[in-house]
A and B are shown apart, each in its own frame.
Chain A
């Protein structure tokens, strides 16, 4: 990794770090929590997606979408409503013997951009800032937000939301058919090249299609107005609970 050092991930068990003396601790942490964790999860035979997940009534609800779409801040908002965090950024999915996808608990914190903190009622002064050399064009900073009661057990994956950045005042949730779910899930795959290298393309194809076949996926169009985040979180909560038999 250019300017950061060398990282070796072995057998899904061990990570050897030889960091560059010029790399900051947060930069090394960022890599350990990102690409290194992703490689580790693929080595463990998991399907690795890029997204944030929370537990609503004991079932995992996953948010995927392009960077900056608001998946992590939505997860924080749902945590604020009392739902345990399952993971942020790296979402590792296993399939139980019946083929039911389960989400593995990940980091007990979420990394969010500074501009959404006021909406979430969070004081940046009370949070740890992530030191990055790479500056955001908009001059924003990222902060760690700890989850009060993170999930500690794998949870069945109930549904997935593809979070779409807001264009106007619209807040809408629409179901997506399996062939379109598939392209969303392929886009959300985290370092697919590592998974293909480790488990092979065919194994990836079987698992990603199994997920598209079995797991409901919805397009969540969030309003452009970021201050409506809590309302979005409440809408998701109602949507998930309304789907219960």
Chain B
């Protein structure tokens, strides 16, 4: 369960291509995923190990919204990326 206190990082073997503001990801098994603009911004935040609370703050700042507005979306996105095996959960 990913929370604000978790530390996560994009897996090093996931490839990324730009889709004009959105992003495409391909995992080591060859599965391809398209992520929208916000997802691409979150993905950029976790290129290095990142505390999820900080990711939420940065995304909220970037989009000019309250952290509590950004939080559910960011947590759901990271949980889904985790289920797809696209990120490492360094600290639960």
Contact = CB atoms under 8 A, between A and B. Distances in A.
Interface in A160-218: 177-183, 186, 196, 201-202, 205-206, 208-209, 212-213
Contacts of B23: 179
Given A177-B36, A182-B24, A196 B30 contact: yes
A180 B17 CA distance: 14
Judged by DSSP, the binding face of A is helix
B5 interface: no
A205 B36 contact: no
Nearest to B35: A179
B22 A205 contact: no
What is the size category of the interface that chain A forms with chain B?
10 to 19
A183 B34 contact: yes
Given A177-B36, A182-B24, A212-B24, A201 B17 contact: no
Given A179-B36, A180-B34, A206 B17 contact: yes
Nearest to A202: B15
Nearest to A186: B32
A48 to B, nearest CB: 16
Interface string B19-35: 11111101000101111
A202 B30 CA distance: 9
A161 B19 CA distance: 19
A181 B30 contact: no
A6 B35 CA distance: 41
B34 A181 contact: yes
Contacts of B21: 178
B90 to A, nearest CB: 26
A202 B26 CA distance: 9
B19 A205 contact: no
A16 B21 CA distance: 46
Nearest to A179: B34
Given A205-B32, A208-B32, A179 B22 contact: yes
